[in-house]
């Protein structure tokens, strides 16, 4: 059996990836939706064309991840696509954030994403795809969003390195790097989104267009999907600087 796995499928971009991949995925028998809240995933599953499996899981929970690993080990599915959308951010001064909030962010954005990727890779074959939700925040450190931006820099770096490392196996890895997108992430991160800068408010993107671009970029075999003009400019500048440094060192 061939399956696609989407984490963070109960909301925002994970949910949108599920909808768009449901229409575009070929040679995939089932789409597996993973998150902690069952209800939104079941509602989504009812509207999908593919056979859909809802898996209620906290991807930061050791025991639940072991159970998921067993499900894969028993079923031995071929994984055609893994989309890692589960992620969170907390805006605010580093020292003002609770230890738990910082640790939760690291556990989810870094540890769980890495573990899920490692867990799924043995079931992937030539042509399989991994899409990792990084962020435009990956390209530059951000005061008052320090741990979040650092966690996304990790996702970006891991994705690019794995894309190179897995070339020989014909598996592609793509990092998705949008600016602000209108999902519950923003209210969870900022509380009151009036804290957002005017630039962020003006350039906020729709979930549908970010995901549509990511799906198209993935089909084209890109290693990075950058959405939104300010993030594209930032990407261009940081890449150019890196290339320049490499040239002189
Ligand atoms: N929105 C933006 O402005 C923006 C911009 C750039 C990058 N991103 C990144 O895009 C990704 C998706 O974010 P989004 O905007 O779609 O946010 P969202 O709507 O808040 O979705 C986050 C998803 O993660 C799931 N999740 C959270 N903790 C989990 C856990 N412990 N175990 C399993 N699932 C968990 C949530 O489901 P449950 O609560 O049901 O578990 C939810 O489905 C994140 O990695 C985020 O950092 C977002």
Structure confidence at residue 248 (pLDDT): 84
CB 44 within 8 A of CB 21: no
Could you report the per-residue pLDDT of 116-172, keeping only the tens digit for each? 999 999 999 999 999 999 999 999 999 999 999 999 999 999 999 999 999 999 999
Q: How many CB atoms lie within 10 A of CB 153?
A: 18
Question: Ligand 1 centroid vs 89 CA: distance in angstroms?
Answer: 9
Mean pLDDT value of segment 12-16: 98
CB 52 within 8 A of CB 33: yes
User: What is the rounded distance in angstroms from the CA atom of residue 15 to the CA atom of residue 50?
Assistant: 14
Question: Ligand 1 centroid vs 108 CA: distance in angstroms?
Answer: 9
What is the greatest pairwise CA distance in the chain?
A: 56
Tokens read off for 210 = 């970010």
Structure confidence at residue 228 (pLDDT): 87
Residue with the nearest Cα to atom 36 of ligand 1?
Answer: 8
pTM value surpassing 0.85: yes
Q: What total of structural domains would you count in the chain?
A: 1
Q: Of all atoms in ligand 1, which is nearest to the CA of residue 7?
A: 34
User: What is the rounded distance in angstroms from the CA atom of residue 115 to the CA atom of residue 59?
Assistant: 9
**What residues line ligand 1, using a CB cutoff of 6 Å?**
7-8, 10-14, 35-37, 57-60, 85-89, 108, 133, 135, 178, 180-181, 183-186, 188
CATH of the domain at 31: 3.40.50.720
Tokens read off for 6 = 């989407």
> Exposed, middle or buried by CB within 10 Å (0-12, 13-18, 19+), for 91?
middle
Structure confidence at residue 84 (pLDDT): 99
Q: Of all atoms in ligand 1, which is nearest to the CA of residue 189?
A: 20
Residue with the nearest Cα to atom 31 of ligand 1?
Answer: 58
DSSP label at residue 8: S
The pLDDT mean for the chain works out to 96
Q: Which domain holds residue 16?
A: 2-248
Question: Ligand 1 centroid vs 88 CA: distance in angstroms?
Answer: 5
Question: Ligand 1 centroid vs 235 CA: distance in angstroms?
Answer: 22
Could you report the per-residue pLDDT of 18-54, keeping only the tens digit for each? 999 999 999 999 999 999 999 999 999 999 999 999 9
């Amino acid at each position: 059996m061939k399956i696609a796995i989407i984490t963070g499928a109960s909301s925002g971009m994970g949910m949108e990836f599920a909808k768009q991949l449901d229409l575009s995925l070929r040679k995939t028998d089932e789409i597996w939706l993973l998150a902690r809240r069952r209800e939104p995933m079941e509602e989504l599953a009812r509207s999908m064309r593919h056979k859909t499996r809802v898996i209620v899981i906290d991807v930061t929970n050791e025991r639940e991840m072991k159970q998921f690993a067993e499900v894969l080990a028993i079923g031995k599915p071929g994984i055609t696509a893994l989309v890692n959308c589960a992620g969170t951010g907390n805006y605010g001064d580093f020292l003002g954030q609770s230890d738990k909030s910082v640790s939760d962010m690291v556990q989810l954005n870094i540890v769980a994403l890495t573990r899920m990727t490692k867990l799924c890779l043995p079931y992937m074959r030539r042509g399989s795809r991994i899409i990792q939700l990084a962020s435009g925040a990956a390209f530059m450190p951000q005061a008052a969003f320090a741990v979040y931006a650092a966690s996304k820099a990790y996702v970006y770096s891991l994705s690019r390195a794995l894309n190179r490392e897995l070339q020989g196996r014909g598996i592609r890895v793509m990092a998705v790097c949008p600016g602000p997108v209108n999902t519950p992430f923003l209210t969870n991160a900022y509380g009151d989104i009036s804290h957002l800068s005017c630039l962020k408010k003006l350039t906020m993107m729709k979930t549908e267009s970010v995901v549509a671009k990511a799906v198209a970029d993935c089909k084209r075999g890109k290693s990075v999907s950058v959405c939104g003009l300010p993030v594209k400019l930032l990407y261009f500048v940081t890449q150019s600087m890196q290339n320049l440094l490499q040239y002189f060192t």
